[in-house]
Structure 1
């Protein structure tokens, strides 16, 4: 399951006319739809400024997410076409069971997908805002990839997303990022994994020391600082050594 959302669309839409709003999202959808179909996906629905798509193969879903980011964010022609200086999107991919069916009543029926898989993929997409990254995927997805080592992935640890009780391991897809940021996050990937491991083991002081060392040496990034702030702000009574996202 893949969710793709346009960043800050609500703010931008306030200065657009209704006609401009429709034109804006349709330019993005016009690029997203063909890319999803090319990667063997099915567009389940367009939800305002978001796209929800289904795939049988997780490799197709992840590859699609990368191509969506490249075509919409990294290609300057898209921003020019939209008449904006830049455009950002967030992508979340999670793999699991789902039921496709019909909902509604006799006068209005609609096909939809209902499952926890939908909720989690949507929450991962939302979480890209907090991590200031392009694409997040669950370990459930990574475990089913044909060759995960061929992807630039950075482990971000065990995360409990808002509205979901289950804790999931989450990875950041670094290949989506602009080159400078990609290189920086790739270079500290091993140290980040170790800091997260120490945090999950309850060794918070050691985790904070590792994160601080990364930042002081110039190897830190936004996520590094976010983890350091989160761990240092935890109370002694909080025994759950996972990152909890409270925002939907």
Structure 2
């Protein structure tokens, strides 16, 4: 089978991939830690009937005395989950991690809690089926709110454009793993000369080392770089359509082999 991850990233700064089992175990631990932290934060916000303005939420980190917004904390956890660079935006990091904004999750939990409380106030005890149905409705509403929120992103535009229309399928996706190479392609932050030149300051020029093109970006590597022509043909044979970030995402969602 064609090794997609070997095609995704090139350059002198690319790291060697760890074994698949070790990667899966590491990601599982990260997801558990992320989910546990998120659950306690969101429940605390929702059940206290707090004002759901994300700019007002702050947390204290022991190694950094200044106050950090909840958004920054969510970005850090999501960034660790997707194995992305710290320069990846909050919007892109949480989207790739399938982690909706915490204030939206808190709002959903609060709505579910208020509905269940209203039933109990009328002397009705919701059944297990009712509770599952209520939670499913809350999850659908959460995705709707998130899609609306992603309608005008301030950053991570390419990542949002690639995933937003398939957001429900992306969140439900259970096959495959997110490697740091895949994250670099989906965010544009990684071993690409333009990123290394403009943001990381580790390249003198944004030109492509492989083909000499003026701007080496994730899109250039995926769609245009002539040095990767054979690998691109093999990947097109798998996806069945011209390469672009949206087409790669669609192939990831539609096939467990991609």
TM-score, L = length of structure 1 = 0.32
Q: Is the radius of gyration larger for structure 1 or structure 2?
A: 2
Report 1 or 2 for greater relative contact order, CA contacts < 8 Å, sequence distance ≥ 6. Answer: 2
TM-score, L = length of structure 2 = 0.31
Give the structure with the larger helix fraction.
Answer: 2
